[in-house]
Amino acid sequence: MGSVGRWVRRVGGADTTFDAARRRRFVRALEADFDWSKLGARLDATERDRARSLWIARMRDEQRAVVAMSQLVADLARLGAPLDVLGAGAAVIHDETRHVDVCERVARALDPARPFRTTPPEMPHHGTLELRHRVVVSVVSLLCVGETLSMSLLRAARDHCDDEVTTDVLEGLLADESIHSRFGWWWLETPQGELRDDERPKVARMLARLFARLDRSLGAEAPCVGDAMGAPPSLVRRDVFHAVLHDTILPRLEAHGIAARAAWCDRALREAA
Ligand SMILES: [Fe+2]
Ligand SMILES: [Fe+2]
């Protein structure tokens, strides 16, 4: 422990070091609330291996969310966003780091004898885009589209899950993701976040490319069977994707003056360009 830590501990009487405070916040609910010994109790070896792969993939998605959200909050700070926006954004980063942790714990608990790498995946950095445009693109793609979809897919995963511990973990992730998607829509409502006329067509072009990628991975009838340990069956996933896209995401983007329905129709065109 460094000298500052010792000083704080002496003055306060209780353990008020940064490390203790950080651990209290970070591990809350993770170690205490889940009985890892019951995880996947009914699985055979093949199912256990498939579930482990799924949770490793989910952990990597959460690692991407940490990086993307950290970049977005840094850009919002550079843009001069209000302090409550920055505080809310920092809370989202904190949530995503806990998600990495809990996904990693699920994967490890499914096969403690097999270690795996936790190095962050490669991420593109859109440093060449103008600052405000970077923020607009990230808010719309990462939060309004990504988090809204993620919330609905997690809900479907929870509803099809037949493992008690995994259901509890999904419930925790779901509670956070619903707040994350609201953060994006909230920013677009603020005076600073409101889209300008010249930004809307650029956002629509970005959306056409994003929709093409999402349609390929979520909208098709992928021949995967889903998993009762945390992934909805593929047909359910496809139906959820189309329902949330057409009933929620496209109308809400249209309400902000973005030609989102046209972007959906243009998705194949844009991908080919
Ligand atoms: Fe997350
Ligand atoms: Fe999230």
Could you write out the DSSP letters of every residue in the chain? --HHHHHHHHHHSS---HHHHHHHHHSTTHHHH--GGGTTTT--HHHHHHHHHHHHHHHHHHHHHHHHHHHHHHHHHHHT--HHHHHHHHHHHHHHHHHHHHHHHHHHHH-TTS----PPPP----TTS-HHHHHHHHIIIIIIIIIHHHHHHHHHHHHT---HHHHHHHHHHHHHHHHHHHHHHHHHHSTTTSPPTTTHHHHHHHHHHHHHHHIIIIIS--S---BTTTB--HHHHHHHHHHHIIIIIHHHHHHTT--HHHHHHTHHHHHH-
**Residue pLDDT, tens place only, 35-83:** 888 888 888 888 889 899 999 999 999 999 999 999 999 999 999 999 9
Please give the distance, rounded to the nearest whole angstrom, from the Cα atom of residue 151 to the centre of ligand 2.
8
R_g of the chain, CA atoms, integer Å: 20
Distance from Cα 97 to the centre of ligand 1, integer Å: 8
| pLDDT in the model for residue 235 | 82
CB atoms near residue 229 (< 10 Å) = 27
pLDDT in tens, 95-144: 999 899 899 999 999 999 998 888 877 777 776 779 999 999 999 999 99
Residue reference for tokens 């353990």: 15
Pick the residue with more confidence: 22 or 40?
A: 40
pLDDT of residue 239: 92
Fold of 41-114+131-272: Ferritin (1.20.1260)
Q: Which residue has the higher pLDDT, 23 or 263?
A: 263
The span from the CA of 199 to the CA of 133, in Å, is: 8
| CA 15 – ligand 1 centroid, Å | 30
- Residue 177 CA to ligand 1 center (angstroms) comes to 6
Q: What is the pLDDT of residue 11?
A: 44
Q: Which residue has the higher pLDDT, 258 or 272?
A: 258
Residue 170 CB: number of other CB atoms within 10 A?
25
CA atoms within 13 A on the CB side of 49: 3
Q: Residue 86 has what pLDDT?
A: 95
Contacts of 228 (CB under 8 A, 6+ apart): 160, 161, 162, 163
Q: Which residue has the tokens 């291996």?
A: 49
| Domain edges within the chain | 41-114+131-272
Q: How confident is the model at residue 15 (pLDDT cuts 50, 70, 90)?
A: low
> Model confidence over 172-222: pLDDT tens digits?
898 888 889 899 999 999 999 999 999 999 999 999 999 999 999 887 765
Residue 4 CA, ligand 1 centroid: distance in Å: 33
Higher pLDDT, 12 or 153: 153
Q: Rounded to the nearest whole angstrom, what is the distance from the C-alpha of residue 191 to the centroid of ligand 2?
A: 24
C-alpha span between 228 and 240 (Å, rounded): 17
pLDDT(21) > 60: no
Q: Give residues with Cβ within 8 angstroms of 269, minimum separation 6.
A: 208
- Give the dihedral sign, CA 84/86/89/95: negative
On the question of pLDDT at 13 being above 80, the answer is no
17 pLDDT more than 80: no
The span from the CA of 233 to the CA of 157, in Å, is: 8
Centroid of ligand 2 to alpha carbon of 94 (angstroms): 10
- 64 C-alpha to center of ligand 1: Å? 9
CA of 65 to the centre of ligand 1 (A): 6
Cα separation, 187 vs 195, whole angstroms: 10
Lowest mean pLDDT among 36-40, 98-102, 260-264, 268-272: 268-272
Selected residue with higher pLDDT from 178 and 8:
178
pLDDT of residue 8: 40
Q: How far is the CA of 96 from the centre of ligand 2 (A)?
A: 6
For residue 238, pLDDT beyond 70: yes
- Determine the pLDDT at residue 120: 75
